[in-house]
A and B are shown apart, each in its own frame.
Chain A
C-alpha cells in the first residue's frame, strides 16, 4: 500500500459530457437542498465564464473567508519583524522537497534505516540535491534537540512520530505479513510529514541541527532515545513533574487572548480526537467493505458456474470480475482515507499537544518570574533589616544580591514578554498552516474519490452490455 501521490485531475477525468450544463441539474434534482444546482452551471466545462472567475477576486458564489475573531493585537503581531518570513511562506510553492524512502532493517538493531532525499533551491542549503541515510532514532534525536532548544521560547516544535513497541517488535521478529508492511509504510510516511512540518517552520529551518540532519552524510548516533532507556525514564519523570506543576501554578492571566486561546485548544483537542476516531472507523469499515466485496465476487462466480442458462451464467461471471476490481478500488480508497485524513488528524492531535505544551512553558516562565520577584522582595526585606543591624559587609552582600535578583526579575519579565510574543506569532502561524494543511488534504482526498469513481464508471459501463446481453 502506498500513500497516494498528489494526483492531477486532467481533462480526461471529466469526460466532456454529452450532458451539457442543462442536464447536470437533473442528476442533482433529487437533492432539493443541493446548493450546487447553481454552482454546476458555473463549473461546466465549456462555460466561458470560468476564466473571469479565476482572474477576478472571489466570486459571489463562494463567500470569502474572513478571519472573524483575531483582535487587532494579533494583527499587529503579524506585521512583526518576522514579516519577511511570512512573505517567504506566501510564495506560491514552498521551495523544498523532502522524500523519505527505502526503509530497511539494519542488523539486529531494530531501528529502520531510511533514505532521506532533499531537493531545494533555497540558499541556506549547500547543494540543490542531497541524499542521506538516517535511522529512526536519528529523527527522534533531532526532535529531542529541537524541543529542548525551542520549546521554552514558545516555539511550536512539530512532534516526531511515536515509537510503537508493538509494531516494532513485529518488525524485529521479521514477520513479513501485511500488517508489518503497513507499519513500515505508516512510519515512512509519518517521518516524511514530520520533516516537512519541521522545515516549514521558519526558525527551525535555519537551525544548524536541522541543516546538519538534512545534509551531512554522517550523524553522531543519538543515544538517549530508546523508550525504556535511562534517559527515556528520566523524560517520563520530568513529564510527570511538569503535569504536577501545571496543576499547582495558578496564573493570573491578564491577557484575555491567552485565556481564550488555551480554552480553544483544549476544546479542539477533544474534538479532533473524536473526529480522528470517526475517521479510523471509516478506514476500518472500508477495509471490511473491500473484504466483503471480494467474498461476494467469489460467491457470484460460483453462482455463475452453477447457473444453467448460458447468457446469465456468463453475466454472473462478469459480475464477479467487476466486483473483484471494485474490491481493489475499495482498498485504494481505504488507503486514501487513512493516509490522507486519518494521519492528518493524528498529526494534528499530536501537534495540539505540542501547542498546549508551549502554553505550559509560558506558565512556567511566569512562575519563574513570580518566584524571582518573591526572592527580590525577600532580599529587599533582608537588606532593610540589615540596615538597622549595622553589619557593613553583610549589607554589601545583601545589596549585591538585590541587584542580582533585580536583574533576574527583569530577565524574567523580558522572557515572559518574549515567550508571549512568540506564542502569539506561533499560534497565528499554526492557524494559517492548519487551514492550508486541511485544505490540501481535502483536495487530495477529493481527487482520490474522483479517480475511484472514474474507475467505477469504467467498470460498470463495461459490464452493462453483458447484462443487456442476457437473453
Chain B
C-alpha cells in the first residue's frame, strides 16, 4: 500500500520545525513558530528530497539533513546535521549552523577543483528569495488602517503561508545540494566538504571582492564562448555527440517549461487568494446582516473558505512536484552542460598539444616538453571522457526516475484533491438543496445522488 502522502505524520514535522525569528518582521509576527497548519499536505524534507533525486541519503555511513532553520533579518541560518560512521570525521553526530554564502563557497571550491572536472557538479542552491512575502508584508503594513479586521486577518494568513512556502523551499534545495555531495563516492571525500560539515566556527567566507566578482563575470563570458566551442569542436565519440545535441536542446526547453510551470502555479495561488477574499467579504456582509440571509452568507463564506484551502493545496503540491522538479533539473542540466564544456576544452587542449608536438618535432626543439604536455592533455581528456560518460549515463537514469516518481505523485495528488473537492461540493450541494425543499415542506425536487 503506497504511503499515504496526504497525512502529514507528526514525526516528519518534528524533524523539521521551522523557527522564525521575529526580527525579520515587525510586530505583525511576534516570535511564534509559524503554524504547521499553514503547511501543505506534503510531508517535508527528506520525502521531497528523495523524490527529486532518488539515490540520496541511502548510505548510512554519511547521512546529512537540515532539520532546522532560522530566519533572521532575511538571513537564513541552516542547521546542518550530520550522522556518520566514517572515521575521517571527528564525531559520529554533530550539527553546525551555516548560511547561504557558505554553501556557495563550498560549491565554488568544488567547481574550481581540477580533479572533479569529469564529474557533474551538483548545482548550487539558489539564494533564498523572500521578495514576494516582503512585498506582501509591505502592502499589509500600508493598508492596515484601511482594512477591516477580517481582511487584515486574511491577508496576514496569506502572508504567513507564502513566507512559510519560500522558507520550506529554500531549506529543501540546500539540503538536496548537500545530499548530492554526500551520496557521491568522490565528493563525499572532499576535504572542503568535510570542513563545511564539521567546522563549528564561522567559515568566514569573505564577500567576494570586486576582482573576484569581475572574475566570475569573466568566467561566465568564457562559458558562453564555450557553448560555441562545444558546438564547434569536432566530436569523434558517438556518445558525446548525442549527449551534446540532446543537452543543448533540452536545456532551453526545460528552462522554458519551468518558467511556464511557475506562472501556472502562481495563477493557482491567485485563485486561492481570491477565494480567500470572497470568503472574507461574505463574512463581512453576514456580520452586518440580521435577517435570514445572514446564516446563508456565513455558510457560503464557509464554502469559499474550503475552496480556498483546497486550491492552496493543489497549488503547493503542483509547485513541489512539477515546478520545483523542473527548476531543479534545469539547474542540473546546466551542470551536465558544464561537464561537456570542460571536456570540450580538454579536447581542444588535446588537439592544441598535438599540434604543438608536431611543430616541436618539426623544429626539433623542446620535444620532450611537448611530448610530456601532449601526454598529460591526452590523459586528462581520456579521464574526463571516461568519468563524463559514467556521470552522464547515471544522470539520465536519475532524471528519468525522478520525473517518473514526481509525475506519478503529482497525478495521484491531483486525483485526490479533485475527489476531495468533488465530495465537499457534493456535501454542500446536498445541504443547500435540502434546505430548499425543507423550507417548502416537501422533498420535491430532490436530486438523486
Contact = CB atoms under 8 A, between A and B. Distances in A.
A315 B406 CA distance: 12
Interface string B138-154: 00000000000000000
A413 interface: no
Interface string B385-416: 00000000000100110011001100110111
Interface stretch (B104-112, B210-218, B336-344, B420-428): B420-428
Contact of B253 (A10, A299, A453): A299
A146 B422 CA distance: 44
A346 B12 CA distance: 47
A252 interface: no
Interface string B84-99: 0000000000000000
Contact of B407 (A271, A289, A299, A319): A319
Interface stretch (A136-144, A236-244, A277-285): A277-285
Category for how many chain B residues contact A? 35 or more
Given A278-B278, A312-B400, A457-B422, A439 B303 contact: no
A354 to B, nearest CB: 18
A177 interface: no
B257 interface: yes
B199 interface: no
Contact of B427 (A36, A90, A264): A36
A443 B433 contact: yes
Interface string B254-290: 1011011101101110110111011001101100111
B406 to A, nearest CB: 9
A40 interface: yes
B432 interface: yes
**What is the interface of chain B mostly: helix, strand, loop, or mixed?**
helix
B444 interface: yes
Contacts of B445: 92
B291 A14 contact: no
Nearest to B8: A30
B439 interface: yes
A69 interface: yes
A449 interface: yes
Contact of A457 (B288, B297, B415, B428): B415
A147 B435 CA distance: 34
Given A268-B288, A288-B270, A453-B419, A299 B257 contact: yes
A308 interface: yes
A31 B420 CA distance: 11
**Considering residues B290, B411, B415, which has the most beta carbons from chain A within 10 angstroms of its beta carbon?**
B411
Nearest to A279: B278
B448 to A, nearest CB: 6
B443 interface: yes
Contact of B250 (A30, A65, A307): A307
A296 B257 contact: yes
B256 A30 contact: no
**Considering residues A30, A55, A446, A470, which has the most beta carbons from chain B within 10 angstroms of its beta carbon?**
A446
A77 interface: no
Interface string A1-45: 000000011110110000000001011111100001001100101
Contacts of B254: 303, 306
B281 A11 contact: no
A395 to B, nearest CB: 56
Interface of A: 8-11, 13-14, 24, 26-31, 36, 39-40, 43, 45, 53-55, 57-59, 62-63, 65-70, 90, 92, 264, 267-268, 271-272, 274-275, 278-279, 281-282, 285-286, 288-289, 292-293, 295-296, 298-300, 302-303, 305-309, 311-312, 315-316, 319, 431, 434-435, 438-439, 442-443, 446-447, 449-450, 453-454, 456-457, 460-461, 463-464, 467-468, 470
Interface of B: 4, 6-8, 41, 242, 246, 249-250, 253-254, 256-257, 259-261, 263-264, 266-268, 270-271, 273-275, 277-278, 281-282, 284-285, 288-297, 300, 303, 307, 309, 396, 399-400, 403-404, 407-408, 411-412, 414-416, 418-440, 442-449
29 contacts: A14-B422, A24-B423, A28-B423, A43-B426, A62-B431, A90-B440, A264-B290, A268-B288, A271-B285, A275-B278, A282-B274, A282-B278, A289-B267, A293-B264, A296-B263, A300-B260, A302-B257, A307-B250, A309-B400, A319-B407, A431-B291, A442-B300, A443-B432, A446-B425, A446-B428, A446-B432, A449-B307, A450-B429, A457-B419
